A and B are shown apart, each in its own frame.
Chain A
Amino acid sequence: MSLGEMAEWFAFLVLALISLAGALGMATTMSMFRSGIFLMASFIGVAGLFILLSADLLGLLQIMMYIGGMLVMILFMVLFSMDPGGAMMADMKMSLVERFFSLGLSSGKKDDGGGDMEHGGHDGGGMEHGGDGGDGGGMEHGGDGGDGGGMDMSMTTPVKGWAALLGLANGALLTGLLLLRPAWPESTEQPNPDSAEQIGNLLMGKYMMAFEGAGLLILIGIFGAVLIGRTSRYPDDRSRTAYVTVDAPPPEVEESAGDVVARDSKEGD
């Protein structure tokens, strides 16, 4: 095996490991923020595989799309989630994989002394979720299906075991089929090194309609998202009333020593 081939194998193995470990971490970690970051790592790994397959433009495009996209998506997760940092759920019962990808999230294991130190996950971010992040110690894992009440905070559904089984079966089946299949009709042709020009010509020529259609789809998507997300004009539409936060004073934040409230940055000077 020559040096170049070894380098290619090495790059392939590293990138495949990044993309698979990233996806697995996304599916199993208890912290929503980490989950988004893991997914981004997975995308970057796949983008690296694209570049290894000499689709460099597509790989860079994927990285650009998903760094911005995933950061915004994590912002939404922080907004919607009760416990985006995962400090509450990290104390629950977890499987081995979950424990690995949630490493260091748990607040109980650390021996930094004192019962009620400020380890409430990232409650600086999750606004509606005060400082009660530390008391998740004795909580039941929702996956056991025990407490069907409103306090079930687990990230996963009760069918988690079946889902894992299905995923494993799916992976094993596909991998087995791939390995058993005889060789693919491979071509020895080399791709054109200037992929940007090729893609540009195709997009503006043969696939003009698909290009324009995608543009139209994005436009309609923007319209739809704005239409769904904006506030309603009708005062009795309770679900879509405008939240007027400007006039109301901001909620009190308990000050610790040395903290400067981040909110008043506008009236700085």
Chain B
Amino acid sequence: MTGGEILLRSVGVLVALVLGATLTWRLEPRVLESAGVTELGPAAGTHPQGPIGLAPNPDVWLYPAGPIVAVLGVLFGAVVIPLGPDLVGQDLGIGVFYFIVVIDFVVLGLSLGGWGANVRNAAEVYYRAVAQLVSYVVPLGLAYIGAIMMAGSLSTIAIAQAQEGLWFVVLQPLGFALYLVTGAMQAYRPPFVEPFSRHIEHGVYGSSAGWQALLWRLSMSGVLLLVAAMGSVLYLGGWNGPLLPDPLWMILKTLALMVLMLWLGARFRPLSTAEMLALSWKVLTPVGLANVLLVGGLILLGAGP
């Protein structure tokens, strides 16, 4: 790969991510408000009321690093999302694993920015984000494993190609449901909005301004977009579909999955981190293991590609 091609692909991924995140940013509050959600979480667009003393004595290194790390995580994650069989930033052999890893940088960014702001409400973001990470990371991995097992590959392209005939959502409804719940947890969307709760002044939103606030909103919209896009690659067949061109199908599926996630999340009251942990370890993890068992049985019976 030449230098020019690398540059072209990077710019392409960046532009696609910014456009998608902007669309998400405009779309999300409307969906949530029409569903009657009061606790908007990361979609809360308005600046919190009160004095503007956002972060009077921040940590000079960690406070600016937070949003940059979060945006970098989202940006690196966007590299492996395919819009078509050839329309992908870079097809890595271990693409899905790479995606799981780099999305973790969003949690790191939240921790850095929250603690570095040196304000009580923002420091709370760090505790809540880590508790949420501990609760979603195991079931999320189990939700990925079902699709990986059936496709027999870690590459996002290969997983989407394996669903040309039949989407995995038909074969693994349990895994899809698990992905919906853990994906909402990973994206900090309702009902899992503890790090962005309005009781702590919307978390990092309340302690940042200017370019940092912009980057926070970009990364938080981007993470929802990426979670929905990865969900449509893993379970909804990616770009596969009749009539319409490939990228359009992928975009439609991503938006539909996003709206479904938000709409479902709006049905429930916001959960505390303790309730999230209980849900994760008592319900989601056993469900994920059961799903892996079921998928193994299906593969042995000859279902799937």
Contact = CB atoms under 8 A, between A and B. Distances in A.
B25 interface: no
A64 B199 contact: no
Which of the four size classes fits the interface of chain B? 35 or more
A67 to B, nearest CB: 5
A57 B97 contact: yes
Which of the four size classes fits the interface of chain A? 35 or more
Contacts of A268: 39, 197-199, 270
**Interface majority SS (helix, strand, loop, mixed), chain B:** helix
B135 to A, nearest CB: 11
B127 A196 contact: no
Interface string A113-128: 0000111011011000
Contact of A67 (B105, B127, B199): B105
Given A72-B130, A260-B200, A265-B197, A122 B51 contact: no
A64 B93 contact: no
A196 B154 contact: yes
A269 B93 contact: no
B26 interface: no
Given A60-B97, A118-B57, A258 B123 contact: no
A242 B104 CA distance: 33
Contacts of B38: 269
B134 A68 contact: yes
Interface string B102-139: 00110110011001001111011011001001100100
Given A118-B57, A264-B199, A258 B130 contact: no
Interface stretch (A103-111, A145-153, A170-178): A103-111
Interface in A34-91: 34, 37, 40, 56-57, 60, 63-64, 67-68, 71-72, 74-75, 85
A104 B39 contact: no
A259 interface: yes
Contact of A105 (B53, B59, B272): B59
Contacts of A74: 111
A257 interface: yes
A95 B258 CA distance: 53
B269 interface: yes
Nearest to B105: A67
A71 B107 contact: yes
B143 to A, nearest CB: 16
Interface of A: 3, 31, 33-34, 37, 40, 56-57, 60, 63-64, 67-68, 71-72, 74-75, 85, 103-105, 107, 110, 112, 117-119, 121-122, 124-125, 193-194, 196, 257-262, 264-266, 268-269
Interface of B: 3, 38-39, 50-51, 53, 56-57, 59-62, 93-94, 97-98, 100-101, 104-105, 107-108, 111-112, 115, 118-121, 123-124, 126-127, 130, 133-134, 137, 154, 194, 197-201, 269-270, 272
11 contacts: A37-B62, A67-B107, A68-B107, A71-B108, A72-B130, A75-B127, A122-B118, A125-B126, A259-B120, A259-B121, A265-B199
Which 10 pairs between the two chains have the least Cβ-Cβ distance? A124-B120, A104-B60, A258-B50, A265-B199, A124-B123, A262-B124, A64-B101, A67-B104, A262-B200, A60-B101
